[in-house]
Amino acid sequence: LYTASDSCEGRCEEPYSEEDVCHCNADCERYHNCCEDYYARCRPEGFSSSQDAITNEDLLHVSEQLYKVDQNKARPTDIALNPQYQASPDETGDQEDHSPQPLYKYVNEELFSKPTYASFIKLLDNYQRATGREEDVTAEELREQDNFLKEVMKTELMKKLFAFLHKKNRYGSEQEFVADLKEMWFGLYSRGDGKQDSSGFEHVFSGEVKKGKVSGFHNWIRFYLLEKQGIVNYFSHNFNGPWDTYPDVLGLQFSWDGFYKEVGSAFIGCSPEFEFGLYTLCFIARPGRACHLSLGGYSLSIQTYAWTKSTYGNGQKYIATAYVMSP
């Protein structure tokens, strides 16, 4: 279900990458590996004209901009971590608790009163975690989705992201952008038994359980809140990013009510809008492929996948998953 993009939408004149299933620059005609819609989208100038392509350099530049304006992120004094045991690659599947203490020694919960945090946290209890069980979305939960989107769009970070995507001809207005955010992240689709049981937001931020294993669950706030309640048990980490401030990146092994997550990579200490914004950027720019970014001078990659079984609007795809890639 997770596949690389097979369309040239937004990709005209994009540099060659062996990860792509088809290509959208002039060389593809010579090598006979163009995407099917190459001529419709890239010849002549259309939506995806060359100046609208999001280049690798664009991604490095805009990600540094977003990193710099994450004004709601945790300060170094706001979080104290206790990573304890570092698992080797062949130990991550062992399901052994190598770390007797919690991951979080301390979190300054005053962070959670900031509007984007508060509206984000309200969303976390809106979901049935088991796939195959229909989601019952109430009017209150729809209001919570709208409120979260309203709060994140007030931030400089999301305004910068919109300005970048607007310049690249992806959205004509902020209203169009917000409407698409709501669909790609909160629109429901079926991961099991034909039930409307999942969404990108639930999978990535809240977490799901499928076939006895934790699926998704890539958010530090969710982890902290459940660990504090004794529902999540931290086992080990297999990757600790090079940052000496926040946002940091960890690859985690943990148990959620007895269900295991072999590698749950996550940003630590970033604001909700930072994660939401970077994942959105990568889903739009590099769906189904590694999206190479730069944060504070350090390289980092995000992987996103589109849900290919169902679409919305004019063939647009929901987010299936998004996560930080840990080596």
- 203 catalytic, yes or no? yes
Contacts with 144 (C-beta within 8 Å, 6 or more apart), sequence order: 119, 122, 123, 126
The token pair that represents 96 in the structure block: 């052994």
The token pair that represents 322 in the structure block: 């998004």
Buried b (16+ CB within 10 A) or exposed e, 185-207: bbbbbbbeeebbbbbbbbbbbbb
Pairing state of beta strands 266-268 and 208-210? unpaired
- 218 catalytic, yes or no? yes
Burial classification of residue 314, based on how many CB atoms lie within 10 Å of its CB (0-12 exposed, 13-18 middle, 19 or more buried):
exposed
CA–CA separation, 161 vs 88, rounded Å? 36
Catalytic residue among 23, 210, 261, 317, which? 261
Catalytic residue among 23, 210, 218, 317, which? 218
How many Cβ atoms sit within 10 Å of the Cβ of residue 245? 11
The count of residues in the chain is 327
Please report where in the chains the tokens 């004094």 appear, as a residue. Answer: 77
The token pair that represents 258 in the structure block: 């007895």
Catalytic residue among 168, 203, 210, 317, which? 203
- 73 catalytic, yes or no? no
Residue 249 and residue 243 in contact, taking contact as beta carbons nearer than 8 Å = yes
Query: Of the candidates 104, 149, 135, 158, which has an alpha carbon nearest to the alpha carbon of residue 281?
Result: 158
Residue 126 and residue 146 in contact, taking contact as beta carbons nearer than 8 Å = no
* Catalytically annotated residues: 203, 218, 261
